[in-house]
């Protein structure tokens, strides 16, 4: 169970926390994961500029994702919802996935990306960078 950190522009850290949503995870591992995520987020809250929640477009948003979203909002941290791996879906499937995600997250803006096909990645980068510059 690892958190990967990438140093950006010699100034910021992008921290990749492990996925929390796997149905397969045992209760013990789930609790450990929740512990790691909440420890990290709460410990670093005053330095965190943005939290990005990644949702696999094929798996759709789960209740745990909404819980995570509300938890992050409760800490008064800015959140962006990202729908990932959209290259795996047809146009109509993607549309359904986007609508479902928007519905789950109170119609807030989401960014739908594919890292393999480099779709909307520049927009995601831009949105994260905008947060770094804010205050
Ligand atoms: N088709 C497709 N596959 C992707 C994309 N991005 C990542 N993957 C693949 O999906 C697999 C799982 O990667 P991630 O979703 O990053 O999952 P992970 O980091 O291992 O797991 P968690 O972060 O703990 O959920 C890897 O084999 C990636 O190469 C994408 O945009 N499109
Ligand atoms: Mg990961």
CATH number for the domain that contains residue 31: 3.40.50.300
Distance CA 89, CA 113 (A): 11
What residues pair up with 96 in beta bridges, in sequence order? none
Give the residue, out of 29, 33, 36, 85, with the most ligand 1 atoms within 8 A of its beta carbon, to mutate for a pocket test: 85
Ligand nearest to the Cα of 115, by number: 1
The model's pTM: 0.93
Name which residue sits closest to atom 22 of ligand 1, judged by CA: 19
- Per-residue confidence (pLDDT) for residue 2, from 0 to 100: 79
**In the predicted structure, residue 62 carries a pLDDT above the cut 90:** yes
Residue with tokens 């520049």: 122
Pocket of ligand 1 (CB under 6 A): 18-19, 84-85, 87-88, 114-116
State how many domains the chain has: 1
Distance CA 92, CA 19 (A): 26
Mean pLDDT across 92-119: 96
Name which residue sits closest to atom 21 of ligand 1, judged by CA: 19
CA distances from 98 to 72, 76, 120 (A): 21, 25, 14
Mean pLDDT of all residues belonging to the chain: 93
Which tens digit of pLDDT belongs to each residue from 12-54? Answer: 999 999 888 776 778 888 888 889 999 999 999 999 999 999 9
Mean pLDDT across 96-105: 96
Name which residue leads in pLDDT, 85 or 133.
85
CB-count burial class (<10 Å; 0-12, 13-18, 19+) for 69: buried
- Per-residue confidence (pLDDT) for residue 13, from 0 to 100: 94
The atom of ligand 1 lying closest to the CA of 17 is: 23
Whole-number percent of the chain with pLDDT over 70: 98
Phi, psi of 55 (to 5 degrees): -120, 125
CA distances from 117 to 3, 10, 85, 97, 114 (A): 25, 27, 9, 18, 5
Mean pLDDT across 66-84: 96
- Per-residue confidence (pLDDT) for residue 1, from 0 to 100: 67
**Distance between Cα 92 and ligand 1 center (Å):** 22
Structural domain harbouring 85: 4-133
Q: Rounded to 10 degrees, what is the CA torsion of 28, 81, 90, 20?
A: -10
Mean pLDDT across 74-93: 97
Mean pLDDT across 64-88: 96
């Amino acid at each position: 169970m690892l958190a990967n950190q990438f140093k950006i522009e010699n100034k910021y850290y992008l921290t990749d926390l492990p996925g929390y949503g796997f149905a397969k995870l045992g209760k013990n591992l789930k609790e450990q994961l929740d512990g790691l995520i909440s420890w990290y987020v709460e410990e670093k809250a005053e330095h965190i500029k943005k939290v990005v929640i990644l949702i696999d477009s094929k798996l759709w948003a789960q209740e745990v994702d909404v819980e995570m979203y509300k938890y992050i909002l409760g800490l008064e941290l800015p959140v962006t919802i990202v729908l990932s791996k959209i290259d795996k879906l047809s146009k109509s499937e993607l549309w359904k996935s986007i609508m479902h995600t928007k519905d789950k997250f109170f119609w807030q803006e989401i960014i739908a990306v594919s890292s393999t096909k480099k779709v909307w990645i520049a927009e995601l980068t831009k949105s994260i960078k905008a947060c770094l510059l804010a205050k």
